[in-house]
A and B are shown apart, each in its own frame.
Chain A
Amino acid sequence: MLVSFSSIIRLLCAFLFLSPALALENESGDSDPRHTNNWAVLVSTSRFWFNYRHMANVLSMYRTVKRLGIPDSQIILMLSDDVACNSRNLFPGSVFNNQDRAIDLYGESIEVDYRGNEVTVENFIRLLTDRWGPDHPRSKRLLTDENSNIFIYMTGHGGNEFLKFQDAEEISAWDIADAFEQMHEKKRYNEIFFMIDTCQANTMYTKFYSPNILACGSSEFEESSYSHHSDVEIGVAVIDRFTYYNLEFSEKIERNSTLTLQDLFDFYTFDKIHSHAGVRTDLYNRDPSKVLITDFFGNVQSAVADEIEDDILYLLNHKEEEEETSNTASNTTTSSDNVTRVKNVDSSTINQYGANVINIKDTPTENNYAKYIVLASLGAIFLKTILK
């Protein structure tokens, strides 16, 4: 009874504090996307065969963002174990996220950037802060800039304010928050959408303090996240609930979709996910109901029809000839100096391409104000007589 009472008070407080913040957001929220490129960082953190579903989660997300247009060069995929080639896998080389086994997630073209034991807390922090040695391959780096929108998806086993990596270490909510702050300081993102599917996931984003980060998680403090279903032949659960419904939603999305993040958030219900999915918007200055899903899940580059100059190469290629002619021309002018000193503008050598002469007729000495005053007063008198 006591617990429920305190939670009600907490809820009320949260509402009181949030409502002015929301009001502000609506005023300042502009829905114009300012990004020119999209990146995705997809991380599964748990090892061993029985965590098959975490690999399937992350591969499903990989498939989705790739389908919506983020190229492999802009996806960082961290896959903590190789379930596709595990000896217990009845379908070697394949990973499925559904018992109907319709889609092989491992498929034909897949680019894993960090595999197995490379998936560590240190490497993840290094990836976010881009602090590597000089010999680190570029394809494994997060080469974002101030125009990048980054989608970060993490899945694994977690608890209150931590996420376990590889059964050996853990990353805390503070670590991710500090890494984001370092990215913010160095202007390495435009916006971040952070999604996490683990037990007590919502605690992971509570420590963020950098701007323009939108976060969502699968379950509340002291709440577990659950798997969706098992495949009898694979023998383990193949996907988590939160991810499953994210995928179900994103299957509806095409590149020109107008669905927004708010639509996605509204799609999360307790009936489906069996836990309370959370969203954190106070750091984000746009209204999620105006942010397209494709701002994060896809790589939609807008084309600009630009004014084209069609003579730059021509001018550069004909520079030398022109110099020759101008030299001869100037010689002739100096020799015929006595004949005519006043030269015609249009016959000038420099003007052979025409249209470059800009007339500066309105000289500063002329006083136009008097003219305008006289004209205005005349007009006024004229108007008066007509009105009478």
Chain B
Amino acid sequence: MNEEVERPAVLDKAERVKQIIHSETRESLSTRRYVVLSILALYFLIGFPLWMKLTEIYRAPLPSNFINMLQANQNIDLKIHREVFVKINDGLYFPDLAESTQIQIDHEIFKMNQDPNEQLIVDWNVTLRFDEPGPDDYILELEIGDGEGIAVDPSTRLTVLYYTLSSIKNNDLPYFITQTVLYHIFNSELEFFKIKNQQKNNKAINYSPKVHLSFKLLTGDGDLVDWKINEALDIFFQPIVETFQNYVNFTIDSEIKYFTELNLVNSSNAITLKDLSTIVDFSEWDISSNNFNYPTLNFVLYYPSKSVSPLNFEFDSSKNAFLFPQWGSLILQKESLKPNSVLNEHELRPIFEKFTSELITLLGLPKHPKTLQIRLDAIKVYSIFTNLIRGTDSLSSLLKLSKSLPNMSIPKTVLKNVQNALKARENTIKSANYDKDWDRALIESNKMLEYSELAFFDREMVQQSFFPQEHKVAVYLPLLGPLSIVCFLGIFRIISEIKLFRYARP
């Protein structure tokens, strides 16, 4: 049965072969083959690689292992080793004081690290030196007094430890020195590095090497007023600027604004601290600005208008300075200003004391000890540490994103910035560990942070990462439809012709 069915088909095929052979010359048949072959070659040898090349997403190879290692072991290679120069004024000679104190200090730090609450997150230590100190070094003077005590100089890095002859006899001097160094001179610094204190302080701004300070005099009325802000800044504020210059650079402006009214429902109502956030109307006053690419802190001296003066404070009117976390500070005066009054520099002095105190809080400096230099050193060293952490965070975020968004390109500039960041990190560690040059280390750590942010915020890395299937079809269909269908049908024809010829040959 089957053979009977096939036979006419075979005949049919043979006839068709004949038909084809007679309809066209052999030459044109072979030309068609070459045409099809060359189109196929074009498709696969040029078209396909070109398509792959053009749709390829460049992804620079980031040093992922190293960054992951850094992220897993934060600041493992950073050593913060402080030095204190001991001066003995009374001509007494303690041959083994250095060794015995060092043992005590090491033990104390070891004890801290054993306690899960007190644990330090960085390799911190302090060494005593007995040679001649430089001008900016920590000095500990030993003086005989009529009792044991410590005096920390409020304006230089000098601490005096008073001891008695009996404390020498009982061999307590190393203990006293250890206590002084760890719990008085470097107490704030150690507190910064304790694991339990790693919660972010919401009042302070994130460290930035540049900060803009904007001093504003605001009054509720339109009567002309003036303040001797230039003089006050020159006289009172200049030392602060100089003291801070290795930590932050300040840019300063000042402004007087009139007709800035309080959002009071009823002027006779008592003003409580809680109301303050609604009474003070920053958006109406239009005093916030983002003009600088570094943080701005605002210091506002506010005088109410005559219609609401005197303000009814529920709190002590001498405590009229208020801190707005990460924004700035406001001093709210009770009485309005008389028209044409000029605030001279002496009237501004107590105000500047308050502003300075708030500034120090806003920059995140510790409260103790009194000595500004020591507090500044503490935050400086801590900023180096946090800069490295923030920088490493940025880099590892970049890494995570590059993994989770495979369609996002990673240009060469990103790789370069990552490398620069890692280089700057290396320099930071070098300056901190070997040279103990904290200023240099801070500068380098700032660079690390800057480069890592540049890498993360690279403008090339914006791409619509998701394309729905319909979109792809919409793009490729015009291309595939008219062109490819013709080509592929041609190929099918050639193939079927070859088959027919092969059949006809035997």
Interface residues, chain A, CB within 8 Å of chain B?
A: 34, 36-37, 66, 69-74, 121-122, 125-126, 129-133, 138-139, 141, 143, 145-147, 161-162, 171-172, 174-175, 178, 181-182, 185-187, 254-256, 299-319, 322-323, 330, 333-334, 337, 341-345, 348, 350-351, 353, 356-361, 363-365
Closest to A34 in B: B202
Q: Shortest distance in angstroms between B452's beta carbon and chain A's nearest beta carbon?
A: 10
- Tell me which residues from 320 to 339 in chain B have a Cβ below 8 Å from any Cβ of chain A: 321-327, 330
Partner of B458, one of A36, A131, A141, A317: A131
CB < 8 Å A-B pair total: 238
Question: Which B residues are CB-close (under 8 A) to A306?
Answer: 203, 321-323, 357-358, 361
Partner of A305, one of B146, B322, B325: B322
Closest to A344 in B: B146
Q: Shortest distance in angstroms between B242's beta carbon and chain A's nearest beta carbon?
A: 9
Cβ-defined contact, B325 with A302, below 8 A? yes
Cα(A70)–Cα(B236), bound, Å:
34
Q: Shortest distance in angstroms between A17's beta carbon and chain B's nearest beta carbon?
A: 24
Cα(A305)–Cα(B320), bound, Å:
8
Cβ-defined contact, A342 with B156, below 8 A? no
Question: Which A residues are CB-close (under 8 A) to B397?
Answer: 185-186
Q: Shortest distance in angstroms between B184's beta carbon and chain A's nearest beta carbon?
A: 7
Q: Identify the interface centre among A130, A141, A308, A318: most chain B CB within 10 Å of its CB.
A: A308
Cβ-defined contact, A73 with B289, below 8 A? yes
Q: Identify the interface centre among A125, A131, A161, A306: most chain B CB within 10 Å of its CB.
A: A306
Partner of A175, one of B91, B235, B466: B466
- With A69-B282, A310-B354, A342-B144 as contacts: A36 and B151 at CB distance below 8 Å: no
Cβ-defined contact, B462 with A129, below 8 A? yes
Cβ-defined contact, A356 with B154, below 8 A? yes
Question: Which B residues are CB-close (under 8 A) to A358?
Answer: 149-152, 184
Partner of B153, one of A254, A344, A350: A350
Question: Which B residues are CB-close (under 8 A) to A309?
Answer: 353, 357, 360
Closest to B149 in A: A357
Cβ-defined contact, B281 with A356, below 8 A? no
Cβ-defined contact, A360 with B149, below 8 A? yes
Question: Which A residues are CB-close (under 8 A) to B459?
Answer: 126, 131-133
Cα(A306)–Cα(B357), bound, Å:
9
Cβ-defined contact, A37 with B326, below 8 A? yes
Cβ-defined contact, B282 with A299, below 8 A? yes
Partner of B465, one of A126, A133, A143, A175: A175
Per-residue 0/1 for B348-369: is the Cβ within 8 Å of any A Cβ (1 yes, 0 no)? 0110111011101100000100
- With A69-B283, A71-B282, A255-B263 as contacts: A122 and B462 at CB distance below 8 Å: yes
Q: Identify the interface centre among A143, A147, A162: most chain B CB within 10 Å of its CB.
A: A147
Instruction: List 27 A-B residue pairs with CB atoms under 8 Å apart, sorted by A's residue number.
Output: A36-B327, A37-B326, A37-B327, A72-B286, A73-B290, A131-B462, A138-B290, A146-B200, A171-B464, A175-B464, A175-B465, A185-B397, A301-B325, A303-B276, A306-B361, A312-B353, A313-B240, A317-B236, A319-B155, A341-B90, A343-B143, A344-B145, A348-B145, A348-B160, A348-B162, A356-B153, A360-B149
Interface membership of B117, Cβ < 8 A: no
- Tell me which residues from 466 to 502 in chain B have a Cβ below 8 Å from any Cβ of chain A: 466, 468
Cβ-defined contact, A314 with B353, below 8 A? yes
Question: Which A residues are CB-close (under 8 A) to B167?
Answer: 363
Partner of A313, one of B236, B280, B322, B370: B236
Cβ-defined contact, A363 with B172, below 8 A? yes
Cβ-defined contact, A317 with B263, below 8 A? no
Cβ-defined contact, B466 with A337, below 8 A? no
Q: Shortest distance in angstroms between A376's beta carbon and chain B's nearest beta carbon?
A: 27
What class of interface size applies to chain B in its complex with A? Answer: 35 or more
Question: Which A residues are CB-close (under 8 A) to B292?
Answer: 138
Q: Top 6 closest A-B pairs, CB basis?
A: A174-B466, A316-B239, A185-B397, A71-B283, A303-B322, A303-B276
Closest to A306 in B: B323
Partner of A317, one of B162, B175, B239: B239
Closest to B171 in A: A365
Question: Which A residues are CB-close (under 8 A) to B90?
Answer: 341
Cβ-defined contact, B282 with A304, below 8 A? no
Question: Which B residues are CB-close (under 8 A) to A254?
Answer: 278
Closest to A145 in B: B206
Cβ-defined contact, B291 with A312, below 8 A? no
Per-residue 0/1 for B116-160: is the Cβ within 8 Å of any A Cβ (1 yes, 0 no)? 000000000000000000000000000111111111111110101
Question: Which B residues are CB-close (under 8 A) to A308?
Answer: 319, 321, 353-354, 357-358
Cβ-defined contact, B240 with A299, below 8 A? no
Cβ-defined contact, A73 with B353, below 8 A? no
Q: Identify the interface centre among A69, A344, A351: most chain B CB within 10 Å of its CB.
A: A69
Q: Shortest distance in angstroms between A26's beta carbon and chain B's nearest beta carbon?
A: 24
Q: Shortest distance in angstroms between B321's beta carbon and chain A's nearest beta carbon?
A: 6
Cα(A126)–Cα(B463), bound, Å:
9
Cα(A34)–Cα(B202), bound, Å:
8
Cα(A341)–Cα(B150), bound, Å:
18
Partner of B394, one of A129, A139, A186, A317: A186
- With A36-B325, A122-B462, A365-B170 as contacts: A69 and B281 at CB distance below 8 Å: yes
- With A74-B288, A125-B462, A310-B353 as contacts: A301 and B146 at CB distance below 8 Å: no
Q: Shortest distance in angstroms between B403's beta carbon and chain A's nearest beta carbon?
A: 11
Question: Which A residues are CB-close (under 8 A) to B327?
Answer: 36-37, 301
Other than the known A132-B459, A363-B148, what 7 A-B pairs have Cβ atoms closer than 8 Å?
Answer: A302-B324, A337-B91, A343-B146, A348-B143, A357-B162, A360-B148, A363-B175
Q: Shortest distance in angstroms between A138's beta carbon and chain B's nearest beta carbon?
A: 5
Closest to A126 in B: B462
Cα(A121)–Cα(B152), bound, Å:
60
Question: Which A residues are CB-close (under 8 A) to B156?
Answer: 319, 323
Cα(A143)–Cα(B290), bound, Å:
9
Question: Which B residues are CB-close (under 8 A) to A130?
Answer: 457
Cα(A317)–Cα(B235), bound, Å:
8
Cβ-defined contact, A73 with B150, below 8 A? no
Question: Which A residues are CB-close (under 8 A) to B461?
Answer: 129, 131
Cβ-defined contact, A350 with B151, below 8 A? yes
Cα(A122)–Cα(B292), bound, Å:
25
Q: Shortest distance in angstroms between A268's beta carbon and chain B's nearest beta carbon?
A: 27
Cα(A123)–Cα(B70), bound, Å:
34
Interface membership of B250, Cβ < 8 A: no
Closest to B350 in A: A310
Partner of B352, one of A145, A313, A348: A313
Question: Which B residues are CB-close (under 8 A) to A350?
Answer: 151, 153, 158, 160
- With A306-B323, A348-B151, A360-B176 as contacts: A172 and B466 at CB distance below 8 Å: yes
Per-residue 0/1 for B186-219: is the Cβ within 8 Å of any A Cβ (1 yes, 0 no)? 0000000000000010110010000000000000
- With A185-B400, A312-B356 as contacts: A361 and B282 at CB distance below 8 Å: no
Q: Shortest distance in angstroms between A110's beta carbon and chain B's nearest beta carbon?
A: 13
Question: Which B residues are CB-close (under 8 A) to A305?
Answer: 273, 315, 319, 321-323
Q: Shortest distance in angstroms between A11's beta carbon and chain B's nearest beta carbon?
A: 27
Q: Identify the interface centre among B143, B350, B466: most chain A CB within 10 Å of its CB.
A: B466
Partner of A359, one of B149, B153, B281, B352: B149
Per-residue 0/1 for B255-294: is the Cβ within 8 Å of any A Cβ (1 yes, 0 no)? 0000000010000000001011110111100101111110
Question: Which A residues are CB-close (under 8 A) to B281?
Answer: 69
Cβ-defined contact, B240 with A125, below 8 A? no
Partner of A178, one of B358, B394, B465: B465
Partner of A333, one of B89, B151, B291, B358: B89
Cβ-defined contact, A345 with B468, below 8 A? no
Interface membership of B19, Cβ < 8 A: no
Cβ-defined contact, A312 with B160, below 8 A? no
Question: Which B residues are CB-close (under 8 A) to A187?
Answer: 393
Cα(A198)–Cα(B90), bound, Å:
83
Question: Which B residues are CB-close (under 8 A) to A333?
Answer: 89
Cα(A67)–Cα(B353), bound, Å:
34
- With A174-B466, A255-B263, A363-B167 as contacts: A315 and B277 at CB distance below 8 Å: no
Q: Shortest distance in angstroms between B185's beta carbon and chain A's nearest beta carbon?
A: 12
